[in-house]
Structure 1
Amino acid sequence: MPNLEGAVVLVTGANGGIGTHFVHEFLARGAAKVYATARTPRTWDDDRVVPLRLDVTDPASIRAAVDAAPDVTVLVNNAGASPSSFGILTQTDEEIRANVEVNFLGPLFLARAFAPVLSGNAGTSGGSTVIDVVSAMSWYALGGVYSATKAALWSATNSLRLELAPAGVHVVGVHVGYVDTAMAAHSTDPKTAPEDFVRTVLDGTEAGAYEILADETSRQVKAALSGPLEALYPQLAQNA
């Protein structure tokens, strides 16, 4: 099972609400170093935190991050983007392309780029880990392109898990509904506190989970996938 004690972690989107809690929680669990990445890195009050510039949509920036962090044993794909509206027919071409770049291609290309690093460090660290923050919206299509990109990331996470397991890299997919951050400010639905979400993720990771359903919303939506489509989307019956 993954061991976070002494881990060297890279967190994408570290300046955001969830990302910041990931940084602090890894340190609380004994991580030796955390690369806190963002397009514009900020300063931190802990010497174990290494601010690192990273734009997950830029191949050159990804290559530079791999060169700067050759000791990584845990990669957290946390950075994400959300469109201004959830109607896939009303979202602009630019919003669609941006969401695909940030939510799907970014974490996929980052995992591919760090795969040799993670597999190379797995033998000395007791195993390496990739944590992909996906979403309950990967199974629920009301988010338009956001849902589509998260569904694609779910599939890619499953593929990465199968391909990286023989190299000693454990891949975790995380699903959750709304987390109480700026990205979810538009919603009045129940929200998980970001610190509780992060603790749930790392508890599951340390327990060896492959998939973490971090709230009741994600558990209900996944269970509904085995039922008829009209049960998950009752509006279809209204339009029949």
Structure 2
Amino acid sequence: MQLEGITALVTGANRGIGAAFARALVEAGAAKVYAGARDPETVTDPGVVAVKLDVTDDASVRALAAELGDVQLVINNAGVGAPSLPLDIDIEQARWEFDVNYYGTLRVAQAFAPILAKNGGGALVNMLSVVSFIAMPHLANYSATKSAAWSLTNGLRQQLREQDTLVVGVHVGYVDTDLTAGLEGDKIQVSQVSDALVAGLLAGDEEVLVDEISRNVKSGLSAPLSVLYPDPAAA
């Protein structure tokens, strides 16, 4: 996909990976980048256009779609998460995470797909995770939301081919953001994610596996469950 001169929307673009996506698109030559956030005043990058967007609110999503008829690229980045073991999941927190990570992605896709079609197809990008492929027990509900969003992405890819919209899933392990601040482990920088996505869009890739852990897990999904989910007691 050509990025120079396009108009793009990035959700959750006031910080972290979303802000990095917005900056990377500007640097790649995009003519206009709308940076969506619940509070537009939290968008501080002068190179983007801050817009109000709450992906959990149907009216907010529809209103923005009605306003932004020039969008050719949509990046569904808005996401939330909290550590939780399966039996310790707070149901209300779980609903909130699904409302943002799954239903929010769906709302934006449904609202903006007709606009992408009108503007020649363009691309829809969904920010996913390595936990789309494999569950991590300490991120049980977050893993579930990203797995659901991965399935949705695959369905959208098939349907939106009819209108020549490229649908891209982005998978990555730990990134140095607020979401992973309390988690131990190696973390990559947000710029590595945005650089990988820009390269993937330019190449027309339908899937962007940003880091080694995402590539290894994806390639190993046919392994026995005992390999994917080893028993620590058996080590």
Alignment TM-score, normalising by the size of structure 2: 0.95
Quick check: 1:228 aligned with 2:227? Answer: no
Q: Could you give the per-residue CA deviations for residues 163-202 of structure 1, whole angstroms, max 9, x where no partner exists?
A: 1112011000000001111111112211111011110111
> What's the counterpart of residue 96 of structure 1?
94
Q: Distance in 2 between matches of 1:27 and 1:196?
A: 16
In structure 2, what is the Cα distance between the partners aligned to 1:45 and 1:77? 19
CA contact (8 A) 1:230 1:236 kept: no
Alpha-carbon separation, structure 1, partners of 2:132 and 2:90: 20
The 8 Å contact of residues 17 and 177 in structure 2, kept in 1 or not, is answered as: yes
Residue identity opposite 2:6 in structure 1 = A
Superposition pairs of residues 4-23 of structure 1, within 5 angstroms: 4-23=3-22
Q: Secondary structure in 1 aligned to 2:87? A: coil
Cα deviation for residue 236 of structure 1 reads 7.9
Give the 3-state SS of the residue equivalent to 2:89 in structure 1: coil
Matched residue count: 232
What is the aligned partner in structure 1 of residue 85 from structure 2?
87
Aligned Cα root-mean-square deviation (Å): 1.5
Distance 2:85 2:39 in 1: 30
- The answer to whether the 8 Å contact 1:78/1:132 transfers is yes
1:109 Cα deviation after fit: 1.4
2:2 maps to: 3
For normalisation by structure 1, the TM-score amounts to 0.93
Alignment partner for residue 134 of structure 2, among 115, 140, 144? Answer: 140
CA displacement at 1:145 relative to structure 2: 1.1
In structure 2, distance between residues paired with 1:150 and 1:235: 24
1:176 aligns with 2:172: yes
Structure 1 stretches (4+) deviating beyond 4 angstroms?
Answer: none
Question: Is 1:198 aligned to 2:187, yes or no?
Answer: no
Say if 2:64 is the partner of 1:68: no
One-letter amino acid matched to 1:66: A
Contact 2:192 2:210 survives alignment (8 Å): no
Structure 1 residue aligned with 2:26? 27
| Of 88, 91, 108, the match for 2:106 | 108
List runs of 5+ in structure 1 lacking aligned partners.
none
